[in-house]
Structure 1
């Protein structure tokens, strides 16, 4: 009887691992991929997709069924649904199937946790918060809001907030048709972007694009006012009121780990793993994790790719009864943040600044969409 590898999550980490295992063409292994949406969603480019005249929502999605169709149908199964609970000792995961709302308990030999994270605010396209249709709808609604807005407010000065401000600033800096304001809870330029050394350079790039940056302000409430103009009423800590035609919150991420027993999680609700990317406290050599769901070192595309490679290798070894290999991350930490379609800022390691042109070439030019083909044709793994 074939052994079952259950992969929870059909995005960067999960689909990567699925391809790596299915390429082995082992008739004794079946991959079951559980994803809450039917498509691979390239959310990294969502900040550009909300700009009128740029990417469409359809440019960011590809069917999971297409991505795995090159493999024998008996070697895999795609389940569109969400994990509700898990029992690592019994080696089972309970899933609610989206199509009919039924509950299904799936037994596994090896389990990969790759359910990622979500935005704390619904109806924004920065993460796959909802269904395939709701993702496209949120992109289209955001695009329409940008199109009709004169005053745009973005809350949050992390990756998403800065890159969104950069995309909008790049598009509208010349005609001045829109006022773009970035609200940051941080005290100054240096403390933006998690206090990383590239923060001042990013702030400088945004100001070149005529983005207004307000420091030491925190949004406590934002409501869309009723009426023909549909303006946003934004309340800041301290009581100040700000009005906008379009409002985009980008603050924080919530790990999708509610289905996992708390003993396997950190204080921040991410999964705790060892040097092999095995989940802490789970039966040895049966549960692994990769991507945003992992507690270390941080969320990041290149970090996820490295983790997915290690997890796929260790699952393969575990199926053969062999010991795992130690995960080797990036040789140096790399940060690259785009500020529109022309420039950006970044660093290599703790001290080497990346030239703006290098950031544009590495990320800003395509926001990684050039990698999407690899996730569809399997060459990513």
Structure 2
């Protein structure tokens, strides 16, 4: 009897797992991938895509259909839609299709890989909408970046640093660029904080500490400008405000009892990356957000979930999931330098971060997700 593996999410984790299972050519197993976007978005490079002329659309967006074209059509199905409700007892997921129609898809094994979204839906750091929405957002912001003389970035995390670095590298001598962070240091005081601040200073980026953004509103005095109001009451007028704060796991379709009690709930999993309290539901990537949101962590989780789903399908026991051998935090700071640490104790030289990440922002890896060699 045929078995169905239903994968929700067509980004790094979901596509990785789909490739891994389809390449095994498991007998009587069909893989269904549900994605709200027709394309895989290489959002790791979104911080550079907002700089006019740096990246083409096809450099960071590739059709998912192309990724599946190498497999027998009977072995997979690509569904463009959004999961809106999951019933782990009945083993079905409600999916809303682009035309508004609703389907209820049964499964034998379910993988939750719906990732996370930015707290600001207009931010391009995640694919919050369709392919068309993503492209239009990137083009619009790039045009505004080119025109702006004064740019404010809200958020002193790794994304904020990388956005500020890209802007500083390209425009540090011609535009005023300000990075606001709510804390006393960048990245919550992580060991790379001082190094990041030093690199940004070299690029003429102004970093302001203890500057919590309370709200942003269109300027009443000057058309096209934005008023950024800080918690201390200060107002900064800017040509362009870019928010990089907060990731929100996409878990709205998941019953609450399977979620954490955090302010931003995420999926609770066991040591096998199986959703706690279930037998056949697995999760990987930013939907877990543990130990933290990270591309390298997502890769390892995807490999573990694929291995364990295959094991269960072939009547074998799952194995404990393993994370990366070392914990790496690396931030590109423009197209020439970067900062990073391994296990919070070993400093990564700037040249190493540039070579490993900043030089290309891993854009060449997109090909491996499309041709299946990633898995």
Tell me, yes or no, whether TM beats 0.5. yes
Deviations 1:5-64 (A, max 9, x none): 000000000000000000011241100000010000000100000001211333210000
Residue of structure 1 in register with 2:88 after alignment:
88
1:206 maps to which of 194, 200, 204: 200
Aligned twin of 2:136: 137
Match in the other structure for 1:186: 183
CA 146–92 in structure 1, closer or farther in 2 if over 3 Å, else same? same
> What is the aligned length?
373
Alignment of 1:214-229 (within 5 A): 214-225=208-219, 229=223
| Structure 2 segments unaligned to the other structure (5+ residues) | none
Contact 2:9 2:35 in 1 (8 A): yes
Alignment of structure 1 residues 364-379 onto 2, 5 Å: 364-379=358-373
Q: Is the 8 A contact 2:249 2:289 kept in 1?
A: no
Partner of 1:108: 107
Inter-partner Cα distance in structure 1 for 2:160 and 2:58: 22
Match in the other structure for 1:259: 253
Pairing 1:338–2:332 present: yes
SS of aligned partner of 2:169: helix
Q: TM-score, normalised by structure 2?
A: 0.97
Q: What CA distance in whole angstroms lies between the structure 2 residues aligned with 1:135 and 1:225?
A: 26
1:8-47 superposed matches below 5 A: 8-47=8-47
Match runs of 1:229-378 below 5 Å: 229-268=223-262, 269-282=265-278, 284=279, 286-378=280-372
TM-score by length of 1: 0.96
Report SS of the residue matched to 1:79.
strand
Match of 2:75 in 1: 75
CA contact (8 A) 2:330 2:353 kept: yes
Contact (CA 8 Å) 2:219, 2:237: kept in 1 or not?
no
User: How far 1:65 moved relative to its partner?
Assistant: 0.3
CA distance in 2, matches of 1:228, 1:169: 25
Q: Unaligned 5+ residue runs, structure 1?
A: none
Match of 1:66 in 2: 66
Preserved CA contact (<8 Å) 1:272 1:295: no
Distance in 2 between residues matched to 1:296 and 1:49, nearest whole Å: 27
Superposition misfits of 4+ residues, deviation over 6 angstroms: none
- Partner Cα distance (1:292, 1:339) in 2: 23
How far apart, in 2, do the equivalents of 1:375 and 1:94 lie?
A: 27
Which stretch shifts more, 337-346 or 47-56? Answer: 47-56
Give the Cα–Cα distance (whole angstroms) in 1 for the partners of residues 188 and 132 of structure 2. 33
Q: CA deviation at 1:267?
A: 1.9
| Cα pair 2:271 2:320 within 8 Å, conserved | yes
Cα RMSD of the aligned pairs, angstroms, is 1.1
Q: CA–CA distance in 2 between the matches of 1:117 and 1:55? A: 24
